[in-house]
Amino acid sequence: MTGTTDSADTANRRTGLMVLAWAWVGVPFAYGVYQLLLKLAQLFSG
């Protein structure tokens, strides 16, 4: 039964790494989109 716990640990570690990787890319991207929308509002509102 140790094989199932090893694969579960590996899957949990991989899931955590994927969440961290998406956050590493997604947070700055979302901030950039937010800043873009603010600048567009300034540009078109005069």
Provide the pLDDT for residue 30. 98
* pLDDT score recorded for residue 17: 95
**What pLDDT was estimated at residue 2?**
56
Residue 34 CA: distances (Å) to CA of 15, 29, 39, 43? 27, 9, 9, 14
CA-based end-to-end distance of the chain: 67
Total-model pTM: 0.68
Domain boundaries, the chain: 1-46
Q: What is the pLDDT of residues 1-46, one digit of tens each?
A: 555 678 888 989 999 999 999 999 999 999 999 999 999 999 999 7
Distances (CA, A) of 39 to 13, 20, 27, 30, 45: 39, 29, 18, 14, 10
Angle at 23 between CA 20 and CA 27, to 5 degrees: 160
Q: d(Cα 36, Cα 3) in Å, to the nearest integer? A: 49
